[in-house]
Amino acid sequence: MCSIKVSPKMVPKERPRAMVKNFAVAAVVAAVALVLVFPAPGGSQEIEVGEVMSRIEGAYTEVVNSLLIFPVQEMGDEAPFDKISERLGEIAETARLLPRIENYEDDSSFRNFAGGLEKRAGEMAALAKKKSQAESITALARLQAACLECHKNFRF
């Protein structure tokens, strides 16, 4: 009988396997890091109400300044209606994130207030596109009421 001698040199080294394993671990770590940095669109836990509100606040402040303050500062100049309707579009879009926030997901009343905000912002954007100062100001009052209604119930 002939026997095959296996010399220690022929035994596969452990190294390639360890490298594959390390690579797999690194890939998992990278994937987790990616999920944390770029949450999946459906991942509601990552949306934070304070963050959403400050985005809405920023756009709202620009709308108020552009519609009410700017025409007074720059006497006679028309309000920048394109910018105003753009910012209102942002508010409407951001309002759609509100019902996806974890704490409010199952709250139909919160969802209704968020829907009201989206609707009012959309309506005002349409009026701003028409470049009507008076109609836009009336619509701003309705938009503001949508903010206050929700805050009355969920913030104070």
* Minimal distance, residue 83 CB to ligand HEC, in Å: 16
Binders of ligand HEC among 8-67, rule CB under 6 A?
49-50, 53-54, 56-57, 60
Is residue 125 within 8 Å of 88, Cβ to Cβ? yes
Contact between 92 and ligand HEC by CB under 6 A: the answer reads no
User: What are the tokens at 57?
Assistant: 């606040």
Place of tokens 């987790």: 32
Contact between 140 and ligand HEC by CB under 6 A: the answer reads no
Pick the closest to residue 143 from 26, 79, 49, 57 (CA basis): 57
With a CB cutoff of 8 Å and minimum separation 6, the contacts of 103 are: 49
Minimum CB distance to ligand HEC smaller for 70 or for 154: 154
Contact between 125 and ligand HEC by CB under 6 A: the answer reads no
Is residue 68 within 8 Å of 130, Cβ to Cβ? no
Q: Which residues here bind ligand HEC, judged by CB under 6 A?
A: 49-50, 53-54, 56-57, 60, 91, 98, 110, 113-114, 117, 143, 146-147, 150-151, 154-155
